[in-house]
Structures are given as structure tokens and as C-alpha cells.
Amino acid sequence: MELRQRKGLLVLGLMAFSLLFALSPSGGGEKRYTGTSQSSNGHSPKLSSEDPLQTFKETDYPVYENSQKVEDEEEEVTPLELGDSAAMTASVDTEDIEDNDIFVDQMEYDDAPYIKVLAESKRIKYRLIVLQHERYFRKHKSKLYVPRLKKTAKLSREEFAERFLLTSQPVIIPFEAVRHLNFTTKAYTLEELMKIYPNHKSMTYRYGGYGPNEEIDLGPAIAALYQNKDLKKTKMGRNFPRNTKVNPHSVKKLSLDFPPYVFPGSKMMAPSVWFGTATSSTKTHSDCCDNFAVMLSGTKRWTVAPPSEARLIKPKCTGGLCWGNKLEHADEHAYTPAMKGLRDMTQLVTFDLNAGEMLYLPAGWFHHIENIGPTIMINYWSKEKPFFQQMLDGEATQVEW
């Protein structure tokens, strides 16, 4: 009887050991690596072998949840559906592109770390743009930095496309750097805008996207911003819209030009005008489309992360808009221990975008925005497939400049 009990216990022990072995993730986790990272906010990822933040279990990887689809949204795909990563051959190799001292902060850019990416997982579903960026960053060394062009850079459209559009590299562009391309938009102080649009003189422009025939009144809005007050209500009972769609005709009346660094013939959405008070901010998210953010007045502080950080940020996506709910504030305003921990392990870059500058932010890049005082910014989103994806699909080579 005693021998039977011993045999029974031995069998149970072996079964338990086998079950634990089967349930454990293979490889015990994965590590980040760069392809064939300086974070301006000081949150560079630590990559020592003892650092627990660099190892991730595949069971913790996110499966993106889309509560709603839009007609032109890419379906989720698994890595195997796209074939081997070697097939994702880029037409432009960043290692072959020389910057030729085109940045104001050239030394900081040169010293910046490279984006580090986890090994590809076969267990999870990726959003297409995330998977494409991961594969590109493994193959091509890409800086974790957002450089600022010199005012004298004067890149051609072809040069800008090759260096930034086709490599998914964010960059800050002073207005003066594109004067040679007939970009005439200028920066304004609020005092200057108040002289152009006096509070007592109603200056209205119709816009779309929030209802038929609504109007914005620039005079009172600019006066409210100048006094750093909450934006007034319109006649229709709405708060003065912080994200205001305007038609191209209205943009011309405001003496604004479309950004020159887009592919010829590219379709653009109606511009959006953002009015922000000193206390307002935008939570961490990523957009479906390439974006040129043009600062007319004031300063905004941006904190950005590459699309490959989606595995950590674990966004919730509706259509092409993805919100980083677990990292609402990717800056010093992170207010919970979990959010602070996630912020510190995420590859982030923080910089200020000032009046008289525009930011090119490629589709899929996560960003958190904070106003440093009252601000006015114009957004221009592309309606086309992201330039980076056009490059991967071989469509960029067909562009005629």
C-alpha cells in the first residue's frame, strides 16, 4: 500500500511539472535591439542585463481592440500574413543618407541613441503600421530624436521626402527653411493678432465638421486667449471649438499656406485650427495619417514615441485614432505609480514647438501635447496612405516631382 502511494505521488508530481512547463512562454521573454536611444526628457530605456524593464513576456503583449472600423482602415494582420521580414525591403537606406550638417542641433542628433525594438512575436496580432515600423527599425538604424532644421537648410521636396517622409522621421521645420518653396505663412504674437482681428469687430469664417453653417468669431477668441480665459460660447451654445475645421478659402483669408513638403497631388484633409489656453493639453494618442503641425502663436511641448512602442503603451483604437489610456500623460504629469513606471520604460522624446515652426509627425507616432501659455496651431493631415507605407509598397518611386 505504501509503495502504491509513493508511485501515485510521483506521477502527480511529474504531471504538475509538465503542466507548468507547457504553460511557460518559450524563451522566457524577449529583449529590445537596434537594426543593421537620447530621450530629451531623460527617460532613455536602460538596457543592462539585470534591468527587468527590457524583458517582456509574450503573454503581456497587446491584442489591439478596435470597437469600430472605418472603410479605409487596414485590417489587423499577423506577421506570417505579411511574409518574411526580408521581403520588407526599403527603397531608401537611412545609413546611406548623409545629413550634411542640416540641423541646428546636429551634435545632439548625432549623439542620440537608436530606436530599440523587441523581437517579432508570432503569437500576437499587430496593427499593420506598427508591424511595418518594427521591421523597418530592425533593418535600418533610426535615431530616437526629433531634430530641428536650420533656417538655411532649404531642402528640395525630393530631398525632404528621401530624408524624412520615406523613413518615418519626425522633424521640426522653421518657416524660413521653406521660403524658397513659396511658403509665406508667418508667426504672430497674440498682440499682433488682436490688431488684425479686434475684439469689437466681428471677423467670422465658416467651417465644417461640427454642424451646418456654424461660424467662429476670431476677435473674441483671440482676446480670450490673450487674457488666458476659457473660450466663450458661440451663438449656437457651443464652446469655441478648440479643434476647428476650416475650408481652404478661409485658410487663404487667414494668410496661411499648405505645407510644401508633401507628395505632388496628395489629397489633404481640411485644415484644423487649435486654440489652446495655458492649462490645456492633449492626452497620449496616435493618428492614422501624416501630420504637419504649424505653430502660428505660442509654444507647445510635445512628448513623442515611435509606433513600435505600441506593445508597451497598449492603445485602444477606434478607426485610425489610438488612445494610450495607460499612458495618458507621457510627461512629468503622469499621476499614478503605474503610469510613471510605463512612462519611464517607454522610449520618449520631449521638445518644444515654437511659433514660426512646423512639425512633421509621421502617421502612427504617439504624442502627448501640453501648452506653454496660450497657443494657436494649424494641423494639416494627409488623406493619402502614409508616405512611409507608400515607400514600403514601392509607390513612392512612381512620384513625379
Q: Which domains does the chain have, with CATH numbers?
A: 23-186+255-398 (2.60.120.10)
pLDDT above 90: residue 76? no
3-state secondary structure of 225: helix
Task: Write out the E strands in 249-398.
Answer: 272-276, 281-286, 291-305, 316-318, 321-323, 349-354, 357-361, 366-381
Rounded mean pLDDT of 336-341? 74
Residue with cell 479605409: 72
Rounded distance between C-alpha atoms, residue 306 and residue 25, angstroms: 26
Rounded mean pLDDT of 334-346? 74
Cβ within 8 Å of residue 322, ≥6 positions away? 64, 127, 285, 286, 310, 315, 316, 366
Give 254's pLDDT tier (boundaries 50, 70, 90): low
How far out from the chain centre does Cα 270 lie? 19
pLDDT, tens only, 187-246: 998 888 888 777 755 444 444 443 333 445 666 677 777 776 655 444 443 344 445 555
Rounded distance between C-alpha atoms, residue 81 and residue 336, angstroms: 38
146 or 39, which is more confident: 146
pLDDT, tens only, 21-63: 444 443 333 455 455 433 444 343 332 333 322 222 323 333 3
3-state secondary structure of 149: strand
Grid coordinates given for 249? 478659402
Rounded distance between C-alpha atoms, residue 298 and residue 355, angstroms: 5
Grid coordinates given for 317? 483604437
The average confidence (pLDDT) of the chain is 72
3-state secondary structure of 85: helix
Task: Write out the E strands in 193-265.
Answer: 204-206, 215-217, 243-245
7 or 301, which is more confident: 301
What's this model's pTM, rounded to 2 decimal places?
A: 0.72
Rounded distance between C-alpha atoms, residue 125 and residue 62, angstroms: 8
Grid coordinates given for 164? 524624412
pLDDT above 60: residue 304? yes
CA atoms in the 13 A half-sphere facing the CB of 361: 30
3-state secondary structure of 349: strand
